[in-house]
């Protein structure tokens, strides 16, 4: 349920069915799942205010984004059948203050998950352009896994024909072996994106992203999602006309030669009504990041319909 895009105030509410049992699951977690988004935005004369449960996007990247220090865009636990691959949301308040046509500063406050004021999070980012390159940098501190961490990041984006983007971030703890844990958290991501227009209404969309955990396991052996040192995400979308598109999305782990692939089709049959279909499967051996055998690894086929009204 979304308000019209007009005026100085707008809002949106998105509800989802929970994955937990309504009678035996954790009530607070179930409500968090059901209320996926519930926020408003207000545009004042000199700044913009956002409050509620929503997603605030920092940095660039469809699947991998090291600059996404708010939610983290580094895991492979995603469904490649979704239009929006990263959709995690959270409660927050943010203020965006424009400094110019292509520049702004933004501050965000995150509420405490356990009502302890000392566990609140806050951060800020600065966005501007230098020549033809977008430069974005910022910092976030929040309470994670019983301790406070500090997360600085830098992100760049430009164009040399294809669009390119590059980002890096750290997660600095306040206790323990700070130097080693900071190095272990170092993430680097980047990507290329290009749309090639064909005759008629056709187009070919190409995207290639990577994520590197600099301190990960750089051995040619079975990997896991926590320390895989290099991941690739190629995506190809072919649309011969305005009503039909074919896509292939793949997450590749080069160090153990395993991957997850999803072939999709989308057909806009009538105005507002469409049919979709996806075929997905992992390809890898036992011990690999994407293993074919296992209780949660199998070939899947999904078909569905959508109606926009």
pLDDT for position 293 = 66
Q: Quick one: DSSP state of residue 47?
A: -
pLDDT at position 5 is 74
Instruction: Report d(CA 168, CA 148) in Å as an integer.
Output: 20
Whether the per-residue pLDDT at 296 is higher than 60: the answer is no
Taking a C-beta distance cutoff of 8 angstroms, is the pair 71, 166 a contact?
A: no
Among 19-28, 102-111, 138-147, 153-162, which stretch is predicted with the lowest mean pLDDT? 19-28
**DSSP string over 180-242:** HHHHHT-EEEEEEEEEEE-STT-EEEEEEEEEEETTS--SSS---TTT-SEEEEEEEEEESSS
Beta strands in the chain (DSSP E): 9-15, 35-43, 48-54, 90-98, 104-110, 121-130, 133-144, 147-159, 163-169, 172-173, 187-197, 203-213, 230-239, 244-253, 258-270, 273-283, 300-307
What's the mean pLDDT in 30-59? 91
Average pLDDT over every residue of 123-139? 95
What average pLDDT score do residues 81-103 get? 91
Could you tell me the pTM of the whole model? 0.90
Q: What count of other Cβ atoms lies within 10 Å of the Cβ of residue 82? A: 12
Residue 93, CB-side half-sphere exposure with 13 Å CA sphere: 4
Residue 152 DSSP SS3: strand
Size of the chain in residues = 309
pLDDT in tens, 139-183: 999 998 889 999 999 999 999 999 999 999 999 999 889 999 999
Over the stretch 242-289, which tens digit does the pLDDT of each residue have?
Answer: 899 999 999 999 999 999 999 999 999 988 899 999 999 999 888 889
pLDDT of residue 295 exceeding 60, the answer is no
> Are the C-beta atoms of residues 145 and 119 closer than 8 Å to each other?
no
Position with higher pLDDT, 62 vs 294: 62
Distance CA 280, CA 130 (A): 41
For residue 29, give the H/E element and its range: helix 27-34
Say yes or no to pLDDT of 22 above 80: no
Helix, strand, or coil (residue 290): coil
Residue 25, pLDDT score: 64
Say whether pLDDT at 64 is over 70: yes
Bigger pLDDT: 83 vs 215: 215
The structure tokens 């500090």 sit at 150
Please report the pLDDT score of residue 272 as a whole number.
85
Tokens of 244: 């039909």
Nearest alpha-carbon partner for 233 in 200, 267, 266, 260: 260
Predicted local confidence at residue 14, as pLDDT = 92
pLDDT value of residue 297: 59
Q: Average pLDDT over the chain, rounded to whole?
A: 91
Instruction: Find where tokens 């064909």 sit.
Output: 198
């Amino acid at each position: 349920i979304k308000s019209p895009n007009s005026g100085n105030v707008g809002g949106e509410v998105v509800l989802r069915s929970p994955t937990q049992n309504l009678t035996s699951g954790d009530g607070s977690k179930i409500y968090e799942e059901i209320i996926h988004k519930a926020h408003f935005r207000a545009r004042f004369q000199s700044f913009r205010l956002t409050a509620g449960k929503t997603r605030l996007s920092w940095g660039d990247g469809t699947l991998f984004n090291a600059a996404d220090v708010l939610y983290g865009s580094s895991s492979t636990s995603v469904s490649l059948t979704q239009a929006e691959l990263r959709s995690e949301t959270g409660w927050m308040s943010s203020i965006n203050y424009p400094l110019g046509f292509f520049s702004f500063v933004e501050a965000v406050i995150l509420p405490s998950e356990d009502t302890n004021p000392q566990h609140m999070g806050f951060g800020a980012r600065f966005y501007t352009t230098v020549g033809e390159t977008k430069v974005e940098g910022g910092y976030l501190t929040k309470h994670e896994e019983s301790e406070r961490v500090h997360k600085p990041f830098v992100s760049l984006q430009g164009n040399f024909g294809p669009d390119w983007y590059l980002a890096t971030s750290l997660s600095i703890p306040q206790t323990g072996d700070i130097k080693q844990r900071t190095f272990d958290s170092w993430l680097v991501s980047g990507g290329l994106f290009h749309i090639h227009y064909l005759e008629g209404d056709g187009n070919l969309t190409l995207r290639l992203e990577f994520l590197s955990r600099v301190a990960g396991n750089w051995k040619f052996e079975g990997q896991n999602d926590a320390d895989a040192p290099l991941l690739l995400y190629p995506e190809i979308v072919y649309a011969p006309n305005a009503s039909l598109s074919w896509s292939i999305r793949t997450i590749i782990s080069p160090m153990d030669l395993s991957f997850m692939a999803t072939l999709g089709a989308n057909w806009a049959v009538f105005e507002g009504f469409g049919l979709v279909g996806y075929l997905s499967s992992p390809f890898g051996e036992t011990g690999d990041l994407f293993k074919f055998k296992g209780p949660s690894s199998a070939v899947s086929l999904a078909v569905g319909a959508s109606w926009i009204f």
